[in-house]
């Protein structure tokens, strides 16, 4: 498969990819202008993992390395994708790839990893986008411990496995459909949008901020804030669905479409031309979500007036949670919602209110009437010095 730009595709020889022009072995070099791109075989995350070392063709030293899922800023790649029985072997491979391949490139080499903060491909990735080998050697805690401790530490990590990983595995192996063949998202009038809503398997994705969504939204919408579209659709959407977009401004449609395409969600039927204001001004039905500040939440909890659901990850939960809260990760909420009481108000919290906004819209669509999003989330709770329980 060749891209529209005529760029050639290269990948590891260790996996039988169904597309591409180059199957690379360890230390193979591709030349691009005056740059040399050297494949560095670094198994661990997977058995076909490669890093790409960049140097000038006539130079003797590497200048940068694209480390993929092998080395992150402040962290290392996950090793659990082949299952628990294989993981300890993958951790050993990753340790040796890091110490015998990547770190030997030299402290001056700039590191560009494949993922940043918030990615499920690591445990505690820093929010910095790049680093150097030397800086990571000095500051990355996983690079400063011996092999046995490294194995023990990595094996204890609890990482999420999103449902869309299986879809990505298929696309990585067989090649994705070309985006030139994907349906072009059409701008829709209110009447056209309403007609599209009635089509089977159609989901409305409202990408506005959580407070705007809470104020008014089209009934049945899911609230996934714009930046959240790069990850959370893989947890809460399915590939047989079609999608309608409601955005804060028209320019956001292109960004939203790009994020969805990256996750394999190509069936975007259209977007509301002038956004929610056009819908409201046409007299169409709207819904709203309840909201609470951290102060209001504290008062309701003290009076036992609300059930609190924390939708953060397990690692965030371990750093501190509200007494009496129950943790259900936002990506698992729909299938675990049957455990929740329908006769009591439910408040949802996360770090700042984005994921809990999505969670609140999920419960609303499942028929829960008395649902609240906690604006400011756990960050606001901490700022007010309210008590937290921390797991030892």
65-122 pLDDT, tens digit per residue, is 999 999 999 999 999 999 999 999 999 999 999 999 999 999 999 999 998 877 777 8
367 torsion bin: left (phi>0), alpha (psi -120 to 50), beta (else):
left
Quick check: 315 pLDDT over 70? yes
Domain extent at residue 79:
10-159
pLDDT of the residue at 2: 46
pLDDT of the residue at 287: 95
Phi/psi for 140 (5° steps) reads -80, 115
Is 128 found in the same domain as 20? yes
Q: Is residue 323 part of a domain?
A: yes
Work out the pLDDT band at 183, boundaries 50, 70, 90: low
Tell me the DSSP string of 41-67.
Answer: E--SSSTT-EEEEEEETT-SS--EEEE
128-180 pLDDT, tens digit per residue, is 899 999 999 999 999 999 999 999 999 988 887 888 888 888 888 888 777 66
Work out the pLDDT band at 181, boundaries 50, 70, 90: low
User: Residue holding tokens 């102060």?
Assistant: 295
pLDDT of the residue at 64: 96
In the chain, the percentage of residues whose pLDDT exceeds 70 is: 97
User: Residue holding tokens 């402040």?
Assistant: 74
User: Residue holding tokens 């903060």?
Assistant: 117
On average, the pLDDT of the chain sits at 92
Angle, helices 84-97 vs 147-156, to 10°: value is: 140
Which of 106, 126, 159 is at the close of a domain?
A: 159
Is 234 found in the same domain as 117? no
Quick check: 3 pLDDT over 70? no
316-347 pLDDT, tens digit per residue, is 898 999 999 999 999 999 999 999 999 999 99
> What is the CATH classification number for the domain harbouring 305?
3.40.250.10
> What is the CATH classification number for the domain harbouring 71?
3.60.15.10
Is 320 found in the same domain as 252? no
287 three-state secondary structure: strand
H helical segments located in the chain:
84-97, 133-139, 147-156, 164-174, 190-197, 210-215, 233-236, 252-262, 275-281, 294-302, 314-318, 333-336, 354-365, 377-383
Is 133 found in the same domain as 27? yes
Is 155 found in the same domain as 17? yes
Is 147 found in the same domain as 49? yes
Q: b/e string for 215-237 if b means 16 or more Cβ within 10 A?
A: eebbeebbbbbeebbbbbbbbbb
Looking at the structure of the chain, the number of domains it has is 3
Quick check: 1 pLDDT over 50? no
348-378 pLDDT, tens digit per residue, is 999 999 999 999 999 999 999 999 999 999 9
């Amino acid at each position: 498969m060749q891209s529209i730009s005529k760029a050639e595709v290269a990948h590891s020889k260790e996996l039988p990819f169904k597309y591409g022009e180059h199957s690379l072995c360890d230390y193979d070099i591709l030349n691009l202008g005056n740059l040399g791109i050297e494949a560095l075989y670094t198994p661990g995350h997977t058995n076909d993992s490669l890093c790409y070392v960049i140097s000038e063709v006539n130079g003797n030293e590497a200048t940068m390395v694209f480390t993929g899922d092998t080395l992150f800023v402040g962290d290392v790649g996950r090793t659990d994708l082949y299952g628990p029985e294989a993981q300890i072997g993958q951790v050993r491979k990753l340790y040796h790839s890091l110490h015998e391949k990547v770190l030997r490139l030299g402290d001056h080499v700039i590191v560009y990893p494949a993922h940043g903060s918030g990615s499920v491909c690591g445990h505690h990735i820093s929010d910095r986008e790049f680093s150097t080998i030397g800086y990571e050697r000095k500051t990355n805690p996983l690079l400063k411990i011996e092999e046995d401790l490294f194995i023990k530490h990595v094996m204890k990590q609890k990482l999420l496995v999103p449902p869309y990983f299986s879809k990505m595995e298929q696309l990585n192996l067989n090649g994705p459909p070309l985006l030139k063949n994907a349906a072009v998202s059409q701008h829709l009038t209110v009447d056209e949008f309403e007609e599209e809503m009635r089509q089977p398997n159609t989901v409305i994705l409202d990408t506005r901020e959580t407070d705007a969504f809470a104020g008014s939204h089209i009934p049945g919408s899911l609230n996934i804030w714009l930046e959240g579209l790069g990850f959370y659709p893989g947890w809460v959407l399915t590939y047989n669905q079609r999608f309608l977009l409601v955005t804060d401004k028209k320019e956001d449609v292109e960004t939203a479409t790009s994020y969805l395409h990256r996750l394999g969600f190509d069936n975007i039927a259209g977007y509301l031309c002038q956004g929610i204001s056009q819908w409201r001004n046409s007299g169409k039905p709207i819904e709203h979500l309840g909201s609470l500040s951290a102060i209001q939440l504290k008062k309701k909890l003290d009076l036992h007036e609300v059930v609190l659901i924390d939708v953060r990850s397990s690692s965030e939960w371990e750093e501190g949670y509200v007494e009496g809260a129950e943790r259900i990760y936002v990506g698992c909420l729909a299938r675990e919602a049957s455990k929740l009481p329908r006769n009591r108000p439910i408040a949802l919290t996360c770090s700042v209110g984005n994921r809990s906004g999505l969670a609140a819209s999920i419960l609303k669509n499942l028929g829960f009437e008395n649902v609240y999003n906690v604006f400011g989330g756990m960050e606001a709770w901490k700022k007010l010095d309210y008590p937290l329980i921390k797991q030892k």
